[in-house]
Amino acid sequence: MVTIKSNREIELMKEVGKLTARTHEYIAKIIKPGMSTYELDQLVEKFIRENGGTPAQKGYPSGIKGVPNFPGSICASINDVVIHGIPSKKDIIKDGDIISIDLVVEKNGYNGDACRTHLVGNVSTEARKLVEVTEQAFWEGIKYAKKGYRIGDISYAINEYVTKFGYSVVREFQGHGIGKEMHEDPGIPNYGKKGRGLRIEPGMTLAIEPMVIEKNPDIWELEDGWTIVTADGSLSAHYENTVLITENEPKVLTII
Specify if 181 maps to a domain: yes
Q: What is the residue range of 17's domain?
A: 7-252
What pTM, to 2 d.p., does this model score?
A: 0.97
Q: Does 2 reside within a domain?
A: no
pLDDT per residue over 91-110, tens digit each?
999 999 999 999 999 999 99
Number of structural domains in the chain: 1
Edge-to-edge strands, sheet with 219-221: 81-83, 228-230, 219-221
- Of 238, 220, 222, give the one whose Cα is nearest residue 230: 220
User: Is 73 part of any domain?
Assistant: yes
Q: For residue range 193-215, what is the model confidence (pLDDT) as tens digits?
A: 999 999 999 999 999 999 999 99
- Tell me, yes or no, whether 48 lies in a domain: yes
What is the CATH number for 43?
3.90.230.10
Is residue 158 in a domain?
Answer: yes
Asked if residue 172 has pLDDT above 90, the reply is yes
The answer to the question of residue 1 being in a domain is: no
Share of the chain above pLDDT 70, in %: 100
Task: Band the pLDDT of 1: cuts 50, 70, 90.
Answer: confident
pLDDT at 165 over 90: yes
137 within some domain: yes
> Would you say how long the chain is, in residues?
256
Question: Rounded distance, CA 118 to CA 74, Å?
Answer: 14
